[in-house]
């Protein structure tokens, strides 16, 4: 039995459709997730992941990505990488070719080039236009971006996959738009943005990374399932804990999602409706989760 999950309506659909195609072509689960995320990163029309995504306050796109293998807890991640895409493929290379979990910034870029990745300009006419607009009216433009997230154009793609008892989790993002250069969110952090353990299940997070990281959202949700909670219960417990200890997260979009051994899934969010793509067979379906009660 195979189940794939992918976050957010527009980028999640690009990712899950590519992942399904790779699955049908016979690829292993990690490649399925990697290629799904890569497709979203390489699509310049998606303004918040990979090529053409919204840059930091210097006008530079900085990418974060991570992948984790539930079989043996191997993981690879990169953060704050400039000018190379897709970051998820660099993350997988970190896992495969080094003894480390994460490489950062300029040295991650250097590693990627050593591995044969080509540097490229990740700014497109559209994200230059948005950046210039933000620079000219920072407060207004920032508000509009926050509105865009609320309208479900969410950015980070977090994918969870289950195949015959084996889990893989992956994430790719350019982080928050207009972030401080060098800022890293939850997405590439194992335990915060993703976690996978074949003993239990997998979980991921998306939304305001500082809150999700402080709350260790993904690890907490997996550990909830280890204690016997369903994925939905584990996500709700995680989000309630985050809200209890970090009340400001109620007013931000914070999401945790989880996938259990029986293929059941769940998600819990604050502030707004969260769209999640789910595929088992046939066409992927979009599920919408209401924010937890205040
Ligand atoms: C971050 N968690 O960098 C990411 C952003 C995100 O939907 O998930 N946006 O904080």
Residue 185's Cβ-side half-sphere holds a number of Cα atoms within 13 Å equal to 30
Residue among 207, 252, 276 whose CB has most ligand 1 atoms within 8 A, to mutate: 207
Those residues with Cβ within 8 angstroms of residue 11's Cβ, 6 or more apart along the chain or in another chain: 40, 43, 46, 48, 49, 154, 155, 157
Which residues carry out catalysis?
156
How far does CA 101 lie from the centroid of its chain?
Answer: 17
How remote is the CA of residue 212 from the centroid of ligand 1, in Å? Answer: 9
CB 209 less than 6 A from any atom of ligand 1? yes
Residue 270's Cβ-side half-sphere holds a number of Cα atoms within 13 Å equal to 25
State the pLDDT at residue 141. 62
Task: Report which of 266, 263, 185 is spatially closest to residue 221, judged by C-alpha positions.
Answer: 266
Low-confidence ranges of the chain (pLDDT < 70): 138, 140-154
State the pLDDT at residue 75. 98
CB 154 less than 6 A from any atom of ligand 1? yes
- Maximum distance among all Cα pairs of the chain, rounded to whole angstroms: 52
- In this structure, the residue with its CA closest to atom 6 of ligand 1 is 207
State the pLDDT at residue 147. 43
Model pTM greater than 0.75? yes
Task: Report which of 240, 289, 219 is spatially closest to residue 5, judged by C-alpha positions.
Answer: 289
How remote is the CA of residue 156 from the centroid of ligand 1, in Å? Answer: 5
Nearest ligand 1 atom to alpha carbon 193: 2
How remote is the CA of residue 267 from the centroid of ligand 1, in Å? Answer: 16
Nearest ligand 1 atom to alpha carbon 158: 8
Collapsing DSSP to helix, strand or coil, 225 comes out as helix
- CB burial of residue 258 (10 Å; 0-12, 13-18, 19+): buried
CB 158 less than 6 A from any atom of ligand 1? no
State the pLDDT at residue 150. 45
State the pLDDT at residue 1. 87
Give the start-end residues of each E strand in 96-230.
Answer: 102-104, 157-163, 166-173, 194-197, 201-207
State the pLDDT at residue 139. 73
- In this structure, the residue with its CA closest to atom 3 of ligand 1 is 175
CB 156 less than 6 A from any atom of ligand 1? yes
The residue behind tokens 């003993």 is 199
Q: Which helix (H) or strand (E) holds 108?
A: helix 105-114
Token duo for residue 34: 């990697």
The sheet that has 265-269: what strands, in order across it?
Answer: 194-197, 201-207, 254-260, 265-269
Q: Which helix (H) or strand (E) holds 10?
A: helix 9-24
Crossing angle of helices 105-114 and 87-97, in 10° steps, is 80
Q: Are strands 74-82 and 102-104 parallel, antiparallel or unpaired?
A: parallel
How remote is the CA of residue 15 from the centroid of ligand 1, in Å? Answer: 16
How remote is the CA of residue 155 from the centroid of ligand 1, in Å? Answer: 7
- In this structure, the residue with its CA closest to atom 9 of ligand 1 is 207
Residue 225's Cβ-side half-sphere holds a number of Cα atoms within 13 Å equal to 29
């Amino acid at each position: 039995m195979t189940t794939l999950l992918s976050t957010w309506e527009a980028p999640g659909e690009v990712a899950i459709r590519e992942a399904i195609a790779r699955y049908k072509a016979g690829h292993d689960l990690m490649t399925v997730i990697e290629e799904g995320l890569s497709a979203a990163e390489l699509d310049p029309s998606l303004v918040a992941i990979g090529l053409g995504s919204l840059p930091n306050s210097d006008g530079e796109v900085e990418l974060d990505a991570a992948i984790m293998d539930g079989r043996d807890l191997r993981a690879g991640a990169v953060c704050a990488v400039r000018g190379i895409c897709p970051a998820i493929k660099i993350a997988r290379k970190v896992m495969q070719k080094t003894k480390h979990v994460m490489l950062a910034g300029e040295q991650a870029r250097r590693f990627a080039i050593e591995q044969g990745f080509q540097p490229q300009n990740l700014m497109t006419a559209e994200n230059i236009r948005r950046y210039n607009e933000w620079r000219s009216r920072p407060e207004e433009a920032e508000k509009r971006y926050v509105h865009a997230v609320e309208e479900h154009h969410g950015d980070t793609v977090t994918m969870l996959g289950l195949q015959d008892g084996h889990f893989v989790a992956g994430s790719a993002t350019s982080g928050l738009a207009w972030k401080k250069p060098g800022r890293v969110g939850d997405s590439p952090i194992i335990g915060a943005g993703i976690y996978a353990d074949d003993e239990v299940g997998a979980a991921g997070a998306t939304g305001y990374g500082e809150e999700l990281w402080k709350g260790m959202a993904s690890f907490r949700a997996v550990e909830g399932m280890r204690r016997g909670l369903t994925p939905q219960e584990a996500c709700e417990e995680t989000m309630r804990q985050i809200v209890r200890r970090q009340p400001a997260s109620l007013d931000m979009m914070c999401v945790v999602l989880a996938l259990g051994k029986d293929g059941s899934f769940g998600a819990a969010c604050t502030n707004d409706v969260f769209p999640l793509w789910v595929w088992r067979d046939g066409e992927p379906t979009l599920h919408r989760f209401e924010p937890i009660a205040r």
